[in-house]
């Protein structure tokens, strides 16, 4: 008897998930994120490196500036399909056609609200009028673009039967992508899953037409909702870098891309985005818009690959997979850092000291550990430069400069100027004082400090706050500066804002100085101390 024939069962291949980037449209239109045309172009190149499938470059009819930005991106950026948003009017569609004209592949994204609240309060249209408008606009657009996307604005608050009717109407009149926006971030994963399932099953459409999710983050659910939509059959997700967008923002590009990549075992679709370009693009966006990324932001926050707690650091030293589900390299971030702070253990301290070339004996290590904990309590994070300062016997706070006196003066008149005289003392350089002016007392004091120390500093951010303590109240200043193209941060307390800010600045100057020393020590073999 011959052996039974085995027929190979083909493993089902996951579908393609299209990444539609709206950083430069929904993201850019939100307060605090506006960009000039050259800035948008720079970001568009970075997004193209990330290999997003479609890049929504702007809303051509919104302003001549927006039209120009879309047109420049359409002329110069290659790779993604370039898209412009348009309201459901012939005029908007023509503006999009003009701006997109130089693009090798162009997509029109036309939207019209479908929910009862938008129909009644904003559009003053009946259901029938909404359907007629969709028909008229899509018929007008047909033949001018390579792809047409239709968005039913506020889809998640639209009557289910009417949403199916509106989407079927758009598909019948030439829409290739049916976008289902949760415009006000109102939905939750189970609900949005059911909505997409029902649309996939009931909307009449040609085979090539796909559904798209566009989720806002008003309840912090944009990424979770987008993933639920993918599970239900959506094959495009609209997202923005750093999650920027109207109000609480859009589904974050970095989170959706990494969730699909890391949990490819549970999602039915894969994106073709190149995640290794995420970090530089996110950093650049933050610098261009001046909107910092929260330290605890998933994937791109400065703590995303930082470990401070002793137990976590011990695990990371043994095997990084204990506390990291993705590597920093996979998103283009600099290597993981074991941040030394008040929660760190002696094990991590000894390991970092060894990297810097120090091998203290157990007694010395014990003493250094105590100094390190005191400095961490005072300043938060302790970096290599601070450790060198401790090992080399700089003051426990890490700063070599002491502020002896600060005097502030404001001139009278319509345009008052602020002056600061600052006197500092240094163990080797002695007492030095200088006077400088600036836009405000802190700026003037900082200018004087830079004149005294001879170090040029670019202040990236300065945050001050008051807090109550046993003695009454104190001020805390957190600062981030750039010295010779490198970032340093510091924290200091003081009896008033200006003193705390100057101390925080001096601390970062010492960090900058000690950094060079730490780097030269990194390459040397460890020596017993
Ligand atoms: O949130 C929204 O509804 C939109 C549409 C224009 C797609 O941004
Ligand atoms: Zn939106």
459 and 477 in contact (C-beta within 8 Å)? no
Instruction: Please determine, for residue 265, whether its predicted confidence score (pLDDT) is greater than 90.
Output: yes
**How confident is the model at residue 514, as a pLDDT?**
66
| Location of each CATH 3.30.160.270 domain in the chain | 402-520
Considering only residues 441 and 113, tell me which one the structure prediction assigns the higher pLDDT: 113
CA 77 – ligand 2 centroid, Å: 23
**How confident is the model at residue 13, as a pLDDT?**
80
Instruction: Please determine, for residue 354, whether its predicted confidence score (pLDDT) is greater than 80.
Output: no
Q: Which of 268-272, 392-396, 475-479, 507-511 has the lowest mean pLDDT?
A: 392-396
CA 26 – ligand 2 centroid, Å: 6
For a substitution probing ligand 1, which of 214, 238, 249 has the most ligand atoms within 8 Å of its CB?
214
Instruction: Please determine, for residue 529, whether its predicted confidence score (pLDDT) is greater than 70.
Output: no
Instruction: Please determine, for residue 513, whether its predicted confidence score (pLDDT) is greater than 80.
Output: no
| d(C-alpha 118, C-alpha 120), whole Å | 6
- CATH code of domain 402-520: 3.30.160.270
Considering only residues 175 and 361, tell me which one the structure prediction assigns the higher pLDDT: 175
**How confident is the model at residue 357, as a pLDDT?**
62
**How confident is the model at residue 395, as a pLDDT?**
46
The pLDDT > 90 percentage for the chain reads 61
Q: Which of 219-228, 407-416, 500-509 has the lowest mean pLDDT?
A: 407-416
What is the gyration radius of the CA atoms in the chain, in angstroms?
A: 29
Q: Which of 31-45, 197-211, 224-238 has the lowest mean pLDDT?
A: 31-45
| d(C-alpha 43, C-alpha 406), whole Å | 43
Query: pLDDT averaged over the chain?
Result: 89
Cα distances from 92 to residues 60, 137, 185, 375, 395, in angstroms, run 7, 10, 26, 60, 65
CA 226 – ligand 2 centroid, Å: 13
Q: What is the dihedral of CA 138, 226, 15, 166, to 10 degrees?
A: -30
For a substitution probing ligand 1, which of 85, 87, 148, 245 has the most ligand atoms within 8 Å of its CB?
85
Residue 153 CA: which ligand 1 atom is closest?
3
| d(C-alpha 200, C-alpha 412), whole Å | 70
For a substitution probing ligand 1, which of 27, 28, 111 has the most ligand atoms within 8 Å of its CB?
111
| Location of each CATH 3.20.20.70 domain in the chain | 19-289
Instruction: Please determine, for residue 162, whether its predicted confidence score (pLDDT) is greater than 80.
Output: yes
Q: What is the dihedral of CA 455, 457, 463, 469, to 10 degrees?
A: -10
**How confident is the model at residue 396, as a pLDDT?**
40
Q: Are strands 458-469 and 472-483 parallel, antiparallel or unpaired?
A: antiparallel
By C-alpha distance, which of 20, 46, 44 is closest to 332?
46
| d(C-alpha 246, C-alpha 7), whole Å | 53
**How confident is the model at residue 416, as a pLDDT?**
80
By C-alpha distance, which of 517, 490, 522 is closest to 506?
490
Largest CA-CA distance found in the chain, in angstroms, rounded: 109
Residue 216 CA: which ligand 1 atom is closest?
1
Q: How confident is the model at residue 191 (pLDDT cuts 50, 70, 90)?
A: very high
| d(C-alpha 270, C-alpha 278), whole Å | 17
449 and 422 in contact (C-beta within 8 Å)? yes
First to last CA, the chain: 80
CA 181 – ligand 1 centroid, Å: 6
pLDDT tens digits for range 3-14: 556 667 776 788
State mean pLDDT over 250-254: 98
State mean pLDDT over 376-398: 69
Q: How confident is the model at residue 397 (pLDDT cuts 50, 70, 90)?
A: very low
Instruction: Please determine, for residue 526, whether its predicted confidence score (pLDDT) is greater than 50.
Output: no
Residue 184 CA: which ligand 1 atom is closest?
1
**How confident is the model at residue 515, as a pLDDT?**
65
Residue nearest to atom 1 of ligand 1 (CA): 183
Instruction: Please determine, for residue 72, whether its predicted confidence score (pLDDT) is greater than 70.
Output: yes
**How confident is the model at residue 278, as a pLDDT?**
95
State mean pLDDT over 57-78: 97
Residue 25 CA: which ligand 1 atom is closest?
8
Distance, CA of 85 to chain centre: 23
| d(C-alpha 380, C-alpha 489), whole Å | 10
pLDDT tens digits for range 310-348: 788 788 778 888 888 999 999 998 776 677 888 899 988
Residue nearest to atom 2 of ligand 1 (CA): 183
**How confident is the model at residue 30, as a pLDDT?**
92
**How confident is the model at residue 6, as a pLDDT?**
63
The highest-level CATH class for domain 19-289 is alpha beta
Which DSSP letter does residue 478 get? E
Residues with CB under 6 A from ligand 1: 26, 85, 111, 151, 153, 179, 181, 183, 214, 216
Q: Which of 199-203, 424-428, 471-475 has the lowest mean pLDDT?
A: 471-475
For a substitution probing ligand 1, which of 56, 155, 166, 183 has the most ligand atoms within 8 Å of its CB?
183
CA angle, corner 90, sides to 53 and 63, nearest 5? Answer: 70
By C-alpha distance, which of 357, 271, 261, 347 is closest to 312?
347
Q: How confident is the model at residue 57 (pLDDT cuts 50, 70, 90)?
A: very high
CA 62 – ligand 1 centroid, Å: 14
**How confident is the model at residue 288, as a pLDDT?**
86
Considering only residues 349 and 53, tell me which one the structure prediction assigns the higher pLDDT: 53
Instruction: Please determine, for residue 61, whether its predicted confidence score (pLDDT) is greater than 60.
Output: yes
Instruction: Please determine, for residue 527, whether its predicted confidence score (pLDDT) is greater than 60.
Output: no
CA 30 – ligand 1 centroid, Å: 12
Residue nearest to atom 8 of ligand 1 (CA): 26
Instruction: Please determine, for residue 126, whether its predicted confidence score (pLDDT) is greater than 80.
Output: yes
Instruction: Please determine, for residue 393, whether its predicted confidence score (pLDDT) is greater than 70.
Output: no
Q: What is the pTM of this model?
A: 0.73
pLDDT tens digits for range 368-385: 999 899 888 877 778 776
CA 178 – ligand 2 centroid, Å: 14
Residue 238 CA: which ligand 1 atom is closest?
7
State mean pLDDT over 467-483: 77
Instruction: Please determine, for residue 360, whether its predicted confidence score (pLDDT) is greater than 90.
Output: no
**How confident is the model at residue 268, as a pLDDT?**
97
Q: How confident is the model at residue 170 (pLDDT cuts 50, 70, 90)?
A: very high
State mean pLDDT over 269-296: 92
Ligand in nearest proximity to the CA of 251: 2
State mean pLDDT over 169-194: 98
The pLDDT > 70 percentage for the chain reads 91
**How confident is the model at residue 101, as a pLDDT?**
98
């Amino acid at each position: 008897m011959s052996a039974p024939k085995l027929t190979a069962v083909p493993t089902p291949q996951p579908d393609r998930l299209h990444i539609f980037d709206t950083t430069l449209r929904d993201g850019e239109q939100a307060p605090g994120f506006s960009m000039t045309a050259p800035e948008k172009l720079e970001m568009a190149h970075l997004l193209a490196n990330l290999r997003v499938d479609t890049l929504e470059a702007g809303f051509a009819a919104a302003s001549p500036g927006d039209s120009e930005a879309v047109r420049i991106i359409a002329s110069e950026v290659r790779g993604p399909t370039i898209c412009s948003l348009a309201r459901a009017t012939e005029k908007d569609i023509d503006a999009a056609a003009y701006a997109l004209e130089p693009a090798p592949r162009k997509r029109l994204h036309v939207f019209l609200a479908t929910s009862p609240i938008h129909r009644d309060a904003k559009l003053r249209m009946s259901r029938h009028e909404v359907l007629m408008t969709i028909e008229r606009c899509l018929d007008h657009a047909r033949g001018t673009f390579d792809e047409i996307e239709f968005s039913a604005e506020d889809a998640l608050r639209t009557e289910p039967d009417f949403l199916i009717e509106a989407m079927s109407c758009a598909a019948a009149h030439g829409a290739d992508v049916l976008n289902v926006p949760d415009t006000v971030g109102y939905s939750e994963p189970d609900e949005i899953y059911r909505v997409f399932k029902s649309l996939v099953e009931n909307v009449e459409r040609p085979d090539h037409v796909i559904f798209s999710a566009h989720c806002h983050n008003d309840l912090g659910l944009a990424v979770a909702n987008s993933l639920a939509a993918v599970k239900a059959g959506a094959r495009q997700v609209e997202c923005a870098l750093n999650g920027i967008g109207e109000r609480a923002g859009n589904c974050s590009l970095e989170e959706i891309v990494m969730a699909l990549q890391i949990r490819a075992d549970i999602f039915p679709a894969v994106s073709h985005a190149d995640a290794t370009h995420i970090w530089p693009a996110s950093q650049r966006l933050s610098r261009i818009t001046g909107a910092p990324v929260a330290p605890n932001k998933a994937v791109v926050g400065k703590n995303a690959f930082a470990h401070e707690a002793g137990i976590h650091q011990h695990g990371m030293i043994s095997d990084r997979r204990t506390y990291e589900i993705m590597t920093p390299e996979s998103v283009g971030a600099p290597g993981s850092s074991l941040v030394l702070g008040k929660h760190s253990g002696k094990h991590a301290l000894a390991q970092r000291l060894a990297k810097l070339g120090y091998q203290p004996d157990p007694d010395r290590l014990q003493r250094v550990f105590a100094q390190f904990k005191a400095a961490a309590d005072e300043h938060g994070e302790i970096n290599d430069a601070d450790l060198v300062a401790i090992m080399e016997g700089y003051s426990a706070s890490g700063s070599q400069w002491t502020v002896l006196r600060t005097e502030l003066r404001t001139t009278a008149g319509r345009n008052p100027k602020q002056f600061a005289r600052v006197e500092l003392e240094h163990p080797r350089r002695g007492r030095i004082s200088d006077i400088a002016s600036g836009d405000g007392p802190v700026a003037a004091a900082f200018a004087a400090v830079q004149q005294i120390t001879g170090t040029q500093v670019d202040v990236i951010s300065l945050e001050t706050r008051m807090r109550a303590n046993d003695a009454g109240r104190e001020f805390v200043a957190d600062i981030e500066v750039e010295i010779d193209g490198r970032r340093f941060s510091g924290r200091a307390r003081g009896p008033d804002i200006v003193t705390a800010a100057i101390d925080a600045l001096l601390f970062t100057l010492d960090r900058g100085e000690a950094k060079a020393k730490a780097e030269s020590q990194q390459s040397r073999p460890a020596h017993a101390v």
